[in-house]
Amino acid sequence: MTTRIDLTSTIAGIRSPNPFWLASAPPTDKEYNVVRAFEAGWGGVVWKTLGDDPPIVNVNGPRYGAWWSGDRRVMGFNNIELISDRAFDTNIAEITRVKAAWPDRAMVVSVMFPLDEQVWRKRLAQIEATGADGIEINLGCPHGMSERGMGSAMGQQPDLIEQVTRMAKAATTLPVIVKLTPNVTNILPAALAAKRGGADAVSLINTINSIMSVNLDAMAPEPTIDGKGSHGGYCGEAVRPIALHMVGEIGRFADTRGLPVSAIGGITRWRDAAEFMALGAQNVQVCTAAMVYGFKIVDDMIEGLAQWMQSKGYARLDDFIGHALPKLTDWKFLNLNYVTKAHIDQDLCIKCGRCYIACEDTSHQAISASKNGERHFEVKDDECVGCNLCVEVCPVENCLTMVPMQAGTDPRTGRAIAHDHADWTTHPNNVMACESVETVVKK
């Protein structure tokens, strides 16, 4: 009997038939694109950021840069495009038409205005009149707009975040999502500020300050516009780990816990979305993957997520959202009694020797390279600290694994395997008084 999978998603009261939205970016700049996206199956969009009139202007040279794998797969991406460069009313008219034609899809409008209450009141009223489901405040754009005191320039100052969120909330009855910048050392003050300002949700991460590459012939950063370049916003698969961390932080800290999160950052496949949601995100927003492959990828995202949920017995998104959060903790609470040793499956080993040289040159000299004069790689348990480097460099899936020691004595330390938990907070080498109770989110 197959479970009936319900992918319906709700965040800050905004419903969508699935949790896959397109992020505020070039793919959502106008009616034509958004209609194509809805036809392809996307659950919602955040319309590309609207500014006050007169509209901004973009460069007419290259706006994007990329980092490629050997076969030219886009691993990381950046851009110096600004917010919508079309007139406010043009966008409003299109949003109105699209929302009317696609009532079941989430239509959120991204905005960026200066700290002027009049402007917020006027513009948000116009947006509300389109029938849109919510607004997202762009506090993350790290280039261009930030030089004018908006985007990440606001997003890096918690007091401004709070102020602008409050201003937006006062100006509309629509749910307000605050989009945060990752260009901060700690995401929590920004998230807290949004919460204090009354945000209904936060979305993160926006792009990261970056220089994509340097053209060594022109001696100029890329993308290069008439001989010069500027920093841009970094995104794509490469930023996903950073985004996962920040989403996880918001989910696990008491003061921000419960603040709905719309996760953004390198989401390319359904699995990426599931990971963000396991760390507490209500839904996800995608941009780079769509820009690289087109809108059709949502088909796999929807189907893959549903398949996986079915295989796990999850009927609804809420059945697994946040389920990995209780296991996200501080280093100091990790069990020091847990001992693992690398193990090489000789049947799978192709004898490339990468594990050996990685361990030999840069780690613990815990792998041998020959046996009876033959090329043969084997872990020396008495040297292996369980660091996992060999697993990461092995090109064969499941050939190298970390095997927990269940009993006996760790041949490296000579200590018996203990089954109780012992962490840094209780370790005799720890001269600092530490809190001894782990604080975790109990879902």
Question: Contact residues for another protein (CB under 8 A)?
Answer: 69-72, 350-354, 356-357, 369, 375, 395-396
Of 141, 287, 359, 384, catalytic: 141
The residue written with tokens 């760390």 in the block is: 279
> Residue 157: phi, psi to the nearest 5?
-120, 105
Contacts of 83 (CB under 8 A, 6+ apart): 48, 49, 50, 51, 56, 110, 112, 138, 141, 145
Cβ proximity to another protein: between 132 and 399 the closer is 399
Least distance (Å) between residue 345 CB and another protein = 13
C-alpha separations of 378 from 5, 220, 317, 341, 410 in Å: 45, 48, 43, 11, 17
Least distance (Å) between residue 269 CB and another protein = 21
CB–CB of 421/382 below 8 Å?
Answer: no
Least distance (Å) between residue 400 CB and another protein = 13
Query: Using H for helix, E for strand and C for coil, what is the string for 172-237?
Result: CCCCEEEECCCCCCCCHHHHHHHHHCCCCEEEECCCEEECCEEECCCCEEECCECCECCCEEEECH
Cβ proximity to another protein: between 71 and 420 the closer is 71
Q: Where are the alpha helices (DSSP H) in 262-388?
A: 270-278, 288-293, 298-312, 354-362
Strands 134-138 and 261-264, how do they pair?
Answer: unpaired
Per-residue tokens: 268: 């390319």
Look up 141 and say whether it is catalytic.
yes
Cβ proximity to another protein: between 68 and 293 the closer is 68
Least distance (Å) between residue 351 CB and another protein = 6
Residue 161 exposed, middle or buried by CB count within 10 Å (0-12, 13-18, 19+) = buried
Cβ proximity to another protein: between 315 and 350 the closer is 350
Cα separation, 174 vs 172, in Å, equals 5
Cβ proximity to another protein: between 36 and 375 the closer is 375
Cβ proximity to another protein: between 373 and 428 the closer is 373
CB–CB of 27/290 below 8 Å?
Answer: yes
**305: nearest Cα among 269, 279, 276, 278:** 269
Q: What type of residue sits at position 38?
A: F
Cα separation, 187 vs 194, in Å, equals 11
Can you point out the beta strands (E) in 297-395?
A: 340-344, 367-371, 374-379
Q: Where are the alpha helices (DSSP H) in 86-157?
A: 88-101, 117-128, 152-155
For residue 396, the tally of other CB atoms under 10 A from its CB is: 13
- Measured in whole angstroms, the distance separating CA 322 from the mean position of its chain's CA atoms is 15
Least distance (Å) between residue 354 CB and another protein = 6
Q: What type of residue sits at position 259?
A: L
Cβ proximity to another protein: between 139 and 344 the closer is 344
- Measured in whole angstroms, the distance separating CA 219 from the mean position of its chain's CA atoms is 32
Least distance (Å) between residue 71 CB and another protein = 4
Per-residue tokens: 398: 């499941």
Least distance (Å) between residue 377 CB and another protein = 9
Cβ proximity to another protein: between 171 and 367 the closer is 367
Cβ proximity to another protein: between 325 and 355 the closer is 355
SS3 126: helix
Least distance (Å) between residue 298 CB and another protein = 28
Least distance (Å) between residue 72 CB and another protein = 7
Q: Which residues are catalytic?
A: 141
